[in-house]
Amino acid sequence: MVYFRRDFTPGGTYFFTLALRNRKSHLLTSHIDLLGETLQTIKQKYPFSTEAIVVLPDHVHAVWKLPDNDFNYSLRWHQIKSNFTKRLIKEGLKITKDQRGEYQLWQRRFWEHRIRDESDLQAHIDYIHFNPVKHGYVPSAKEWPYSSFHRYVQNGVLQENWGYDGAQGAFGE
């Protein structure tokens, strides 16, 4: 049996990867409004700061900063996954359950990495913004609409023609 060791640092900054069970699905981008509403609902109830995010058809990468006295990112992701699934069902999507009675939309686990320092943070933000290009969805980051890249450009942090050669490391894909 595989045991996952999670890092639970109050006020920590974390990189996450969450994926749908069906890695050929386009559900996340085809229902981007529902996903956005879900993220906002959970963020209001359990605050966190989104430092960077990209939503691809079948998976999400994000960097969150948690409040100083809080380390419970697992609760937040559980709530997001559950709430989004329920919203899809309410919209009429048929989502099957497994033997345990769990909906078969999301992979059961997710990848988590606590950000160690500024260079680690920058590497993960770059990875997030370049991910749609890496997967061949668009030729440049500016062309992918479901990314915090546009906020970084708007705030003058990145140029619109920003490019990246690709990050090295373990990013949970």
| 25 is a domain residue | yes
The dihedrals phi and psi of 141, each to the nearest 5 degrees, come to: -60, -35
Q: Catalogue the active-site residues.
A: 146
Based on the structure, what is the number of domains in the chain?
1
Is 164 domain-assigned?
Answer: no
CATH code for the domain in which residue 38 is found? 3.30.70.1290
Q: Would you mind telling me the total number of residues written for the chain in this entry?
A: 173
**What is the Cα–Cα distance from 134 to 62, expressed in whole angstroms?**
16
The closest of 34, 142, 123, 46 to 84, measured between CA atoms, is 34
Residue 145 lies in a domain: no
Q: What is the pLDDT of residue 164?
A: 60
From the CB of residue 48, how many other CB atoms can be counted at a distance below 10 Å? 19
Q: pLDDT confidence of 7, banded at 50, 70, 90?
A: confident
Sign of CA dihedral 67, 35, 112, 99: positive
Q: Domain for residue 159, yes or no?
A: no
Summarize pLDDT for 80-101 with one digit per residue, the tens. Answer: 999 999 999 999 999 988 888 8
Residue 10 has pLDDT above 80, yes or no: yes
Between the two ends of the chain, the Cα-to-Cα distance in Å is 21
pLDDT range class, residue 102, cuts 50, 70, 90: confident
Q: Which positions ≥6 away from 5 have C-beta within 8 Å?
A: none
pLDDT band at 103 (very low <50, low <70, confident <90, very high): confident
Residue-number span of the structural domain to which 36 is assigned: 13-116
Span 22-32, mean pLDDT? 96
The per-residue pLDDT for 155 is: 98
Angle, alpha carbons 81-153-56 (nearest 5°): 30
Q: According to the model, what pLDDT value does residue 26 have?
A: 96
Mean pLDDT over 64-74 rounds to: 95
pLDDT score of 156 more than 90? yes
